[in-house]
A = this chain, B = another copy of it.
Amino acid sequence: MSLIITKATLGRLPVYLEFLKKQKTEYISSTQIARSLELGEVLVRKDLNSVCGLGKPKIGYDREKLIASILDALGVNKNISAVLAGAGQLGTALMEYKGFSEYGVDIKAAFDNDPKKIDHTFANGKKTYSIDSLKEYCESNEIKIGIIAVPQSEAQAVCNKMIECNIRAIWNLTTYSLVIPDNVIVKNENLALSLSFLKTCMLRNEEPDIDSTLRNED
């Protein structure tokens, strides 16, 4: 029944999701989706097929069910708690960002080593704690994801601390290439690289449809 969901598919599921949410009709065909998103229609069909096999010839796919299946495949319904290290400008922006909850991720608290930042309360009531209390906090709050938004020079140290706290997935917003054990996954979000990639594409007059931040190093 359920085919293997490739990573390429996984990457497109949220795109389908956004699109499907905007539609109004009860049923929707892969042809419509493909045309609107400028993707091959067979590709769309294969993607949809790998999360749910319920398309009906001549009618299309049940929109509601499709949305539910995608949400399920993405694990949106499973709520996951995260913590953030580094309550600077970027950290604050992330703490106050509302979009994460839509995907079932809750950044519960920020941690910093700067006494001036500790105890600060964000606009939404979340708080900044001392980095020393990270372990205790993670243990009592079932934290699964760690977000690193500290200065480069501290990135590895903070990363090590997070791993000690049993965090197994790290979102790295610094430009530092973290060294991590095999059982931890890292996603690098290098904004400088990303903007630079756009610039390079512009200079070469190409579409930026590959992302330079996608590779894992070390």
Binding site for B on A (CB under 8 A): 7-8, 10-15, 18-19, 36-38, 74-76, 78, 80, 82, 88-90, 92-94, 96-97, 99-100, 102-105, 144-145, 147, 168-169, 171, 175, 177, 185-187, 189, 191-204, 206-218
Contacts and interface: CB of A to CB of B under 8 A. Distances in A.
B214 A210 contact: yes
A82 B192 CA distance: 13
A144, A186, A208: most-surrounded residue (chain B CB, <10 A): A208
B10 A192 contact: no
Given A187-B194, A215-B15, A200 B10 contact: yes
A80, A99, A171, A187: most-surrounded residue (chain B CB, <10 A): A187
A198 B88 CA distance: 22
B218 A36 contact: yes
Given A8-B210, A18-B177, A210-B10, A199 B103 contact: yes
Given A96-B89, A177-B18, A211 B37 contact: no
A147 B202 CA distance: 14
B192 A97 contact: yes
Copies of this protein in the assembly total 2
A100 B189 CA distance: 14
Nearest to A213: B211
A215 B103 contact: no
Given A189-B191, A217-B37, A75 B199 contact: yes
A23 B24 CA distance: 56
Contact of A14 (B99, B196, B207, B208): B196
Nearest to A36: B218
A16 to B, nearest CB: 10
